Amino acid sequence: MIQLEGINLHFSNKKTILEDLNLEIPQGAFCWLTGPSGAGKSTLLKMLHLEIKPASGRMEILGINPLKARRNLCARLRQRVSMIHQDYRLLSNLSIFDNVALPLRLQKIDKKIIQSNTNEILEWLNISHKQKAFPNTLSGGEQQRVAIARAVVHKPAILLADEPTNALDENQAFRLIDLFNDLNSIGSTVIVATHNETLIKNFPAPKLTIHDKQLWISDV
Ligand SMILES: Nc1ncnc2c1ncn2[C@@H]1O[C@H](COP(=O)(O)OP(=O)(O)OP(=O)(O)O)[C@@H](O)[C@H]1O
Ligand SMILES: [Mg+2]
C-alpha cells in the first residue's frame, strides 16, 4: 500500500513541483504514470523511492511512514522498493553481473541462489552475453535492460519504473510489460512512468497523470 496525503514538494529553488498531492495505491496494483515532460513524474517516483523528501504532507509505504521512521527501518524499506531510473544509474566500477546481483547480495542471500537468479534474469533480458562487461561499453538499450534486471531480480514489493522502455524496441518493450505483469501477479505493486501511448493502449490499467502539480486518476 502507498498512501500520500497533502504532499508538497519543491527543490532548493523553491519552485513548487507537487502541490497538495493525494494518492492511495493498494498493494498489488499496476498503474501507469503519465504527464508532460517536466511535470514531475521522476520527482514523484524518486520521492516514493525515498531519495527526495517532501516539504510537507504524510507518506505511508508498506505500512511505514518513512518521514518519521528510524534510519534502519527506512533502509530495510528501501530494499523492498525498487526503481528503474530514467538515466539507469548503473555502477560503473562493477560488471554487469555484479550490478544485477547487488540487491540479492545486500539481502545476504545464498551464493548459489544469487548466481542462478542473476543468470536467469540476464538471460530473460537477452543480456547474459555481456555479463562480464562494464556499463560504459554497453549501448543505451543494453544499459536499460541491465537497470531493469537489477530492479526486478529480488522481486521487490514495489517496482517504480521511470520510462523503462524509452531505449528499447517495440518488441522488447512489450516483453518487458509481460515481465512487469508477472511480478505484479505475485503481489508486487508496479508503477510505470511512460510517454508511450501505444504501450498504455495495449496494456489497459489505471492511469495516474501529473498535471499542474496535481495527480489525476483515470481508467484506460
Ligand atoms: N534536482 C533538481 N533541482 C531543481 N529542479 C529539479 C530537480 N529535479 C527536477 N527538477 C525540476 O522539477 C520538474 C519536474 O522534473 P521531473 O524530472 O520530475 O519531470 P518528468 O515529468 O519526469 O519529465 P520527463 O518526462 O522529461 O522525464 C522540472 O521542472 C525539473 O526541472
Ligand atoms: Mg522523468
| Domain 2-89+156-218 classification at class level | alpha beta
Q: Return the best residue to mutate from 10, 15, 16, 42 for the ligand 1 pocket (most ligand atoms within 8 A of CB).
A: 42
pTM here? 0.96
Residue 210 CA, closest ligand 1 atom number: 21
Distance 74 CA to ligand 1 centre (A): 24
Strands (E), 64-218: 81-84, 158-162, 189-193, 207-211, 214-218
* Nearest ligand for residue 15 CA: 1
Count the alpha carbons within 13 Å of 18 in the hemisphere toward its beta carbon: 29
Task: Specify whether the CB–CB gap between 50 and 81 falls below 8 A.
Answer: yes
Q: How far apart are the C-alpha atoms of 74 and 79, rounded to whole Å? A: 9
What residues contact residue 174 under an 8 Å CB cut-off, 6+ apart?
199, 202
Q: How far apart are the C-alpha atoms of 192 and 38, rounded to whole Å? A: 16
Distance 54 CA to ligand 2 centre (A): 17
Distance 42 CA to ligand 1 centre (A): 7
- Taking the domains of the chain in order of start, what are their residue ranges? 2-89+156-218
Distance 45 CA to ligand 2 centre (A): 9
Question: Which residue's CA is the nearest one to ligand 1's atom 4?
Answer: 11
Residue-by-residue pLDDT tens, the chain, 220 positions: 999 999 999 998 889 999 999 999 999 999 999 999 999 999 999 999 999 999 999 999 999 999 999 999 999 999 999 999 999 999 999 999 999 999 999 998 999 999 999 999 999 999 999 999 999 999 999 999 999 999 999 999 999 999 999 999 999 999 999 999 999 999 999 999 999 999 999 999 999 999 999 999 988 6
Q: How far apart are the C-alpha atoms of 109 and 162, rounded to whole Å? A: 27
Pocket around ligand 1: residues whose beta carbon is below 6 Å from it? 11, 13, 17, 35, 37-43, 86
